[in-house]
Amino acid sequence: MNSDKLSGTYYTPPDAIRFMIEYLKSEQQDFSNVLEPSAGDGRFLPLLQQCAEHITAIELFQEKVDQMCREYGRDSCLIVKDNFLNFAVNASERYSLIIGNPPYINKKLMGKEDIDKANTICIEAGLKGTVMQNMWLAFVVGACRLLQPGGSIFFVLPMEFLQVQYAEKLRGHLEKIFNIIHIIVFQKALFPEIEQEVCLVYLTNKNCTERHICYEVYEDCRKSLPIQENSICWNKPLKKWSNAVLGDADISLLKSAVNRYPRIKDMGEIAPGIVTGGNRYFILPEEKVEEYQCREFVLPIVQKASYIAKDTVEISEEVVNEIRRSNRPAYLLNLSQEKDVQRLPIGLQGYLEWAGKQKIDDIPLKECYKCSNRIPWYGVPIVKKGEVVFFKRYGILPRIFYNSANVHTTDAGYHLRLQDELDGESLVFCFFNSITLAQCEFNGRYYGGGVCELVPTEFKDIAVPYRHIERKDKERLKSLFKNGEPVECIVSLVNELTICKDYKDEQIRRFEEIRRLLMGRRTSGIEN
């Protein structure tokens, strides 16, 4: 890995810089005193020098500072060697514009000194230090303290900023201090050579008639006009800025519909599946169970949703058997009551001795947090199973199943133990309506490759228009999945027997369009 990558440096493409400068001009930005807090090789400077009265460029590495001094140093452009985290705390000058592409460095890769500085910046801004999970976050907070009244920030930020849980407090903080927030995304990746998806975020305190969050979609950074634009004024604070892909009217419509139906959390007990502390060591395939002669010491388990074919909405015995036959890990070591390892089969004893020495993040398995707090260390706690299982990550459609095999899963799945009057198969059927599916997209967050994830609190808040569904209709749904019918056919059937009883056709079509808009943020190019 090269030094630039280690330092979180991904140089901004010239077309993107040009887009940013032209965008600022269209917003009538004040360029009188500009700060570039992560100058790198100085690639923002040529275009900034054409419109800025004075520029201060901060760079940590001496060789890059020397290079910029030779190429861009002049009275109107001050090149400063410094760590921006230091600069943000100590600088007395205030700036009309702070622009750049801050480094993306996970907290795990940061030195203690930088972590302490970043935490200090966050705490002084009224944010707890725990919010600081990546270097770019501290750059955003640090930039805020250096703005003059009416000043602006324009940063290239990872797309995750719009939605990740650890940045939620920061987003709320920014909504309080800026009256205009523009989020700019591109259909064509700005950094095609890396997996990191990015967006542009423009924050300003200009005089305006109404505080708003604007979401703009461009085909690419060479285009001057957006292909989609929405503005959020009413539905603030907006928990996830990625949801600004919807306008105020659609968000209000979705919220009102969701409030009409019961939430998952009101339907029974919900809990994650089994936490092993090391799935690759505690979940075995069929051949290893045979080799270690430990069948009496294992339980069947589904490790992840991808092991289940996409043609079913039921975890049946046949599904579990198919996982076993494929020789995927399908057996959980059930040893919490076996405190004397010498009483176990010889093969299993040897395996546990070997497994305990295997390292996870440079720590032997038996010394890792979960294992070291268990007696014995290999005794994975067994939790209750549920009638319905929802897997927290999915592609096109949520992976929710009626658990007829009564099988365990890992904590990749959430188990629902329903109230007696509720039917698990009916709940699974009803889940695939346009409103619930749209809410999954609205509540969840998405990752590279188009994967959507709901954490437990987000899943519990999902509303479902529950109805008791007749057997013949349950079988119709199963047939649609079995035959690989389009998503639209599945949703149409479920809508017909659930929300169509409460809403007119044109409203149903709007809910479906909301679902598609939300899903479209993440699913381009992935298969059902």
Confidence (pLDDT) at 195? 65
* Residue 291 CA, distance from chain mean position: 40
Confidence (pLDDT) at 206? 80
Burial class (CB in 10 A: 0-12, 13-18, 19+), 388: buried
Q: Are residues 171 and 287 in the same domain?
A: no
For 107, the domain range is 3-178+198-204
56 lies in a domain? Answer: yes
Number of other CB atoms surrounding residue 82 within 10 Å: 15
81 lies in a domain? Answer: yes
Q: Are residues 163 and 296 in the same domain?
A: no
Burial class (CB in 10 A: 0-12, 13-18, 19+), 94: middle
Confidence (pLDDT) at 2? 38
32 lies in a domain? Answer: yes
Q: What is the DSSP letter of 93?
A: -
59 lies in a domain? Answer: yes
Q: Are residues 156 and 288 in the same domain?
A: no
d(Cα 214, Cα 379) in Å, to the nearest integer?
51
- Residue 78: name the closest of 114, 34, 15, 115 by CA: 34
| Residue keyed to tokens 């057996």 | 331
Helices 434-443 and 487-497 cross at an angle (nearest 10°) of: 110
483 lies in a domain? Answer: no
446 lies in a domain? Answer: no
Those residues with Cβ within 8 angstroms of residue 305's Cβ, 6 or more apart along the chain or in another chain: 391, 393, 394, 399, 412, 413
Those residues with Cβ within 8 angstroms of residue 226's Cβ, 6 or more apart along the chain or in another chain: 216, 217, 218
Confidence (pLDDT) at 75? 83
Confidence (pLDDT) at 521? 85
Walking along the chain (528 residues) 10 residues at a time, the average pLDDT comes out as 46 92 95 95 94 95 93 89 94 96 90 90 83 89 95 95 91 94 92 80 85 94 91 93 95 96 97 96 97 96 96 97 95 95 95 96 95 96 96 96 98 97 97 98 87 95 98 98 97 98 96 94 63
Confidence (pLDDT) at 130? 65
Q: Are residues 154 and 287 in the same domain?
A: no
Q: What is the largest CA-CA distance in the chain?
A: 80
Confidence (pLDDT) at 1? 31
Confidence (pLDDT) at 524? 63
Q: Are residues 155 and 280 in the same domain?
A: no
Q: How many domains does the chain have?
A: 2
CATH code for position 70: 3.40.50.150
Torsion of CA 413, 414, 417, 422, to 10 degrees: -100
Cis peptide before 46 (omega within 30 of 0): no
Q: Are residues 21 and 164 in the same domain?
A: yes
Per the CB < 8 A criterion, the answer to whether 390 and 268 are in contact is: no
d(Cα 447, Cα 196) in Å, to the nearest integer?
10
255 lies in a domain? Answer: no
Q: Which of 204, 238, 265 is the last residue of a domain?
A: 204
Q: What is the pTM of this model?
A: 0.90
Say if strands 95-100 and 34-36 run parallel, antiparallel, or are unpaired. parallel
Those residues with Cβ within 8 angstroms of residue 365's Cβ, 6 or more apart along the chain or in another chain: 277, 278, 281, 355, 356, 357, 358, 359, 371
Q: What is the CA radius of gyration of the chain?
A: 27
499 lies in a domain? Answer: no
Burial class (CB in 10 A: 0-12, 13-18, 19+), 430: buried
Q: What is the DSSP letter of 524?
A: T
Q: Which of 385, 400, 421 is the last residue of a domain?
A: 385
Q: Which of 385, 400, 428 is the last residue of a domain?
A: 385
Q: Are residues 302 and 165 in the same domain?
A: no
